[in-house]
Amino acid sequence: MKTFLGIAFAVCLIFPGLGAAAEGKKPTITVEQEKHGDRVFTMVRIAVPTIPGFECDVWCYEDALRQGEGSPQPDGSMIVRHKHPKGAEVETRLVPSVGAVDWYVTVTGPTPEAVKAVTSVNGCWQLRRAPGFQSVKDQFVESFVNQCFIYTARGFTLLKDTERFPDTRRPATHNTNSPPWVQVYLPVWRKHPGQPAAFWGNSTDQPLYSIAGEVSRDMKYLAAWGCKRSNSIGQGWHDCLHIGPDLRLDYDEKTNRTVSHFKMYFMENDPEELLKQYKEDFSIP
C-alpha cells in the first residue's frame, strides 16, 4: 500500500494536470430553495460532466423532513441538514467522484424513539433537466417511462416490459392510465399487497435489487440510484424515480444513530457493469 501511494504521489508531482483533470470530471453539487406558493422545496442539483448536458435534481425530501439547509464543503461535497418533527436531526452528505455521487445519511437524536422515527428518506430524483433523459411533451410514457429500468428475475428490465396497473385515484380509462404513467415496484422480499385503494398501481414485477435508473434515448448513457435495501421503488410524474431506502436496518442501538449509504451512478450504457458495481458497493452477493 505504501509503495502504491508513493507511486501515485510521484505521478501527481510529475503530471500535476492529471489530478485537476479528474477533479473536472466530478459532478458538481448545489442546493437551491425553490418556493412554490407557501411551500419551499429544497432541491439538490447535480451536474455531471461525463454525460453531455446532464443535470438532475433531487427534492430533499418528499416526506416529514420537508425543507433542509445546504452547506457546500471545500472538497466539493455538500451537506444538507434536516430536523424531523419527532426530534431527530438528519444530515445528508453528498460526495462526488468521477461518474458517481455517494449519499451518506446520518440520523441522530435525543432518544431511540426520535432516531428510529426516521425509517426512510424519500428523495424525489428528477431527470427533467437532462436532455436525452427528460420526457418529451405529450410522450411521457414513450420518452421517459419506457427508458426507465429495474432488475428483476429476468435481469435488466425496462419498465415498458413490466406489468403495470392503473392509478386507482382515477378511472382506468383516464389518459394517465392508458397506459399507466406512474407505478410502484415492491421488491421480492416484500409480500405483494395487491392494488391500493387510492394511489399508484403496484406492478406484479418485483425488483431483485434496490436500484433503479434510466437509459438515455440515444442508448449511449445511463443514470441510476441505488441503496442496500429499499421498501419500494417508485416511478412518478416529474420524470422522477424514488428508491425508498429502508433506514431501519442501519440503526445502531449502542450509539443511538442510523448511518445509511446510497449511491448514484452516471456512466455509459452498460447494465451488466452497473449491476457489478452496485453489488460491490453494497456487498450484495
Q: How far apart are CA 251 and CA 257, in angstroms?
A: 6
> 35 in helix, strand or coil?
strand
49/99 Cα distance (integer angstroms): 9
What pLDDT is attached to residue 138?
95
Q: What is the pLDDT of residue 3?
A: 39
What is the model's pLDDT at position 36? 87
Going residue by residue through the chain (285 aa), what tens digit of pLDDT does each one get?
433 334 333 434 455 555 667 788 999 999 999 998 889 999 999 999 999 999 999 999 999 999 999 999 999 999 999 999 999 999 999 999 999 999 999 999 999 999 999 999 999 999 999 999 999 999 999 999 999 999 999 999 999 999 999 999 999 999 999 999 999 999 999 999 999 999 999 999 999 999 999 999 999 999 999 999 999 999 999 999 999 999 999 999 999 999 999 999 999 999 999 999 999 999 999
pLDDT at position 6, please? 41
What torsion do the CA atoms of 261, 268, 55, 20 make, to the nearest 10 degrees? Answer: 80
Q: Cβ distance 258 to 106 under 8 Å?
A: yes
CB atoms within 10 A of CB 110: 12
C-alpha cell at 237: 410524474
CA dihedral 58, 273, 219, 228 (to 10 degrees): -30
Helix (H, G, I), strand (E, B) or coil at 252: strand
Residue 37's pLDDT is: 87
Query: Whose CA is closest to 148, among 240, 66, 70?
Result: 240
Residue 9's pLDDT is 37
The pLDDT value recorded for residue 12 is 44
Peptide bond into 209 cis (omega under 30): no
Per-residue model confidence (pLDDT) at position 24: 86
List of residues 6+ apart from 255 with CB closer than 8 A: none
Residue type, 264: M
CA distance 159 to 172: 19
Count the alpha carbons within 13 Å of 194 in the hemisphere toward its beta carbon. 3
Contact partners, residue 1, CB within 8 Å, separation at least 6: none
Cis peptide before 207 (omega within 30 of 0): no
- What pLDDT sits at residue 15? 52
